[in-house]
């Protein structure tokens, strides 16, 4: 896990300087880097394409932007940080007094040293983001204002990576790729998703796992619009975001609240004894709200550490490389690994000797427990599996009802299956 954490952090470092938005070359550059780790299938959706109730917008690209004082010194410089420009700013080239420029400048008075992240995706505007202390130091006078950007017909870009499973039923793992230099939101989620995909490929998983790297909101909506025939295959799902901060793990349940992924995450987090929170679904946050919208109603939850807008550094320059850690990303990856391990092995069984308790001793099942320190627990797990193997209860049901660890229940089911007492 230490090695994985370090490698994920290195990926975040590579992605951090890139200027991302909901469209454009920054998204493509980001996906090209991820493609070095896991092979991606890229999709380009033209401007103007109708996607559910939305339309794919024009593509935005930016080359340079700055505010310069009378001496030519750049007092706000896109080259220093992609956060310095209002996302989707239309081009501008002008000279104006500070009084005229001020309405286009965005700051955080409560955190005067931080630069905010602001966007204007669907309303043509231009602007700059800067530290309040920088703004306070600007003298009156004329300033050169330059945003070298284009907003023109192009494409929305998203990518998929599929880990083929034993069955065609799918688990979707989704993360957004539209934020600029914000390390926790969203680069840590991208890194965890990437390394999770690599791990799953080594497992021969039961389910097929589909990883979706897409711009927030419009990207998930576009994926859903273009995959309506596949949606019925999606049995479970998880949206990953804010995966690297020092806070405790937070799981936000699907709209259903009782989807299998909800039960799995609740069980795994409780059984692991990690500090954690499980919260109810709300129709605000990340792309779980798209996958869970009533027409689709997929069993998709959201896994973060500190959740959406739950930390002061959120959507500011303080969400930087110092705010995330290899250890936090490694822990988030471990939660995903544990959850999908349960999900992949959660079967229903039928007791083949349901009339009275079968004699376990003559089948050698008790003898096999002789050297185990948890022999009593393993014996109870066998009895619980036999009792609930009616074709209706899953192994997760057994673990929840008995209070036994899921791993112990799986081992008991395997032993009973080997002895011919249960069948899947």
Q: For residue 144, what are its two tokens?
A: 């050169």
CA distance 188 to 20: 15
- CA of residue 348 relative to chain centroid, distance: 29
Locate all alpha helices (DSSP H) within 214-325, ordered by sequence. 218-226, 260-272, 288-291
Beta-bridge partners for 96: 143
Cβ neighbours of residue 194 under 8 Å, at least 6 residues apart? 8, 11, 34, 37, 38
DSSP string, 17-62: TS---SSSHHHHHHHHHHHTTS--EEEEEETT-EETTEE---EEEE
Q: Within a 10 A sphere around the Cβ of 107, how many other Cβ atoms?
A: 19
The sign one gets for the Cα dihedral 382, 384, 387, 390 is negative
The response to whether 315 counts as a known ligand-binding position is yes
Q: Is 104 annotated as a binding residue?
A: no
State the sign of the Cα–Cα–Cα–Cα dihedral 319, 324, 328, 329. Answer: positive
Residue 22 in contact with residue 218, Cβ under 8 Å?
yes
Cα–Cα distances (Å) from 74 to 66, 118, 137, 181, 193, in that order, read 6, 20, 13, 20, 38
Is residue 179 annotated as involved in ligand binding?
Answer: yes
Are 75 and 129 within 8 A, CB to CB?
no
Please list the alpha-helical segments (H only) found in 363-418: 375-388, 395-402, 406-418
Contacts of 260 (CB under 8 A, 6+ apart): 235, 236, 299, 343, 346, 396
Q: Which two tokens stand for residue 275?
A: 């500090």
**The Cα angle at residue 393 between residues 387 and 399, in degrees rounded to 5:** 75
* CA Rg value for the chain: 26
Binding positions for Zn(2+) are: 179, 185, 315
Binding positions are: 179, 185, 315
């Amino acid at each position: 896990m230490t090695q994985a954490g370090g490698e994920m952090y290195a990926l975040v470092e590579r992605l951090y300087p890139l200027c991302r938005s909901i469209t454009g070359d920054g998204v493509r550059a980001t996906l090209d880097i991820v493609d070095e780790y896991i092979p991606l299938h890229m999709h380009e959706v033209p401007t103007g394409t109708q996607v559910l109730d939305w339309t794919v917008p024009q593509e935005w690209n930016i080359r340079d932007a700055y505010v310069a004082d009378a001496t030519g010194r750049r007092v706000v410089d896109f080259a220093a940080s992609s956060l310095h420009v209002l996302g989707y700013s239309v081009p501008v080239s002008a000279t104006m007094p500070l009084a005229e420029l001020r309405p286009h400048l965005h700051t955080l008075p409560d955190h005067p040293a931080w630069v905010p992240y602001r966007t204007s995706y669907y309303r043509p505007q231009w602007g700059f983001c800067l530290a309040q202390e920088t703004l306070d130091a600007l003298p009156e006078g004329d300033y050169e204002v330059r945003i070298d950007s284009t907003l023109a017909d192009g494409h929305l870009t998203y990518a998929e990576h599929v880990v083929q499973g034993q069955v065609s039923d799918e688990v979707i793992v989704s993360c957004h790729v539209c934020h600029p230099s914000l390390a926790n939101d969203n680069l840590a989620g991208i890194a965890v998703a990437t390394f999770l995909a690599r791990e799953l490929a080594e497992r021969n998983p039961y389910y097929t796992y589909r990883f979706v790297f897409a711009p927030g909101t419009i990207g998930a909506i576009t994926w859903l619009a273009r995959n309506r025939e596949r949606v019925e295959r999606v049995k479970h799902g998880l949206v990953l975001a804010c995966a690297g901060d020092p806070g405790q793990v937070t799981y936000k349940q699907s709209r259903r609240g009782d989807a299998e992924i909800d039960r799995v995450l609740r069980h795994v987090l409780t059984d692991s004894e990690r500090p954690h929170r499980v919260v109810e679904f709300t129709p605000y946050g990340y792309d779980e709200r798209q996958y869970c919208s009533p027409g689709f109603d997929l069993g998709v939850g959201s896994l973060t550490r500190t959740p959406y807008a739950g930390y002061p550094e959120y959507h500011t320059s303080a969400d930087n490389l110092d705010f995330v850690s290899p250890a936090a990303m490694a822990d988030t990856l471990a939660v995903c690994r544990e959850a999908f391990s349960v999900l992949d092995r959660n079967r229903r069984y039928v007791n083949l000797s349901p009339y009275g308790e079968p004699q376990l001793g003559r089948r050698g099942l008790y003898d096999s427990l002789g050297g185990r320190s948890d022999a009593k627990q393993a014996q109870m797990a066998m009895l619980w599996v036999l009792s609930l193997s009616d074709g209706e209860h899953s192994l997760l049901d057994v673990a929840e009802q008995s209070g036994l660890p899921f791993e112990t229940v799986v081992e008991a089911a395997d032993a009973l299956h080997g002895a011919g007492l249960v069948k899947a």
